[in-house]
């Protein structure tokens, strides 16, 4: 996917495998990616920003 492509909030939640309420909690707590205000009621996130956010959440596990 093109890094500049904007996903809706619902698409972002589906892509990352969590519910809307979990997505809302992540955003409200400041633990989600940076979103773009698309209109008065809609927000979205770019594919590139989602990738950066996912990378920031990678954890090392002990083998």
Question: pLDDT tens digits, residue range 1-49?
Answer: 689 999 999 999 999 999 999 999 999 999 999 999 999 999 999 999 9
Q: Is residue 25 part of a domain?
A: yes
The mean pLDDT value for 40-61 works out to: 94
Residues, the chain: 63
Q: Is residue 19 part of a domain?
A: yes
pLDDT at 61 exceeding the cut of 90 = no
Q: Is residue 37 part of a domain?
A: yes
Q: Is residue 1 part of a domain?
A: no
- Per-residue model confidence (pLDDT) at position 1: 67
Q: Is residue 63 part of a domain?
A: no
Q: Tokens in use for 13?
A: 């939640």
Domain count, the chain: 1
pLDDT band at 50 (very low <50, low <70, confident <90, very high): very high
Burial of 60 (0-12, 13-18, 19+ CB in 10 A): exposed
Q: Is residue 15 part of a domain?
A: yes
Q: Is residue 62 part of a domain?
A: no
Cα distances (angstroms) measured from residue 42 to each of 10, 11, 25, 56: 10, 12, 17, 25
């Amino acid at each position: 996917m093109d890094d500049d492509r904007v996903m809706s909030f619902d698409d972002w939640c589906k892509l990352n495998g969590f519910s809307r309420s979990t997505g809302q909690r992540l955003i409200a707590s400041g633990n989600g990616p940076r979103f773009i205000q698309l209109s008065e009621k809609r927000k979205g996130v770019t594919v590139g920003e989602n990738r950066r956010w996912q990378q920031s959440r990678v954890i090392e596990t002990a083998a």
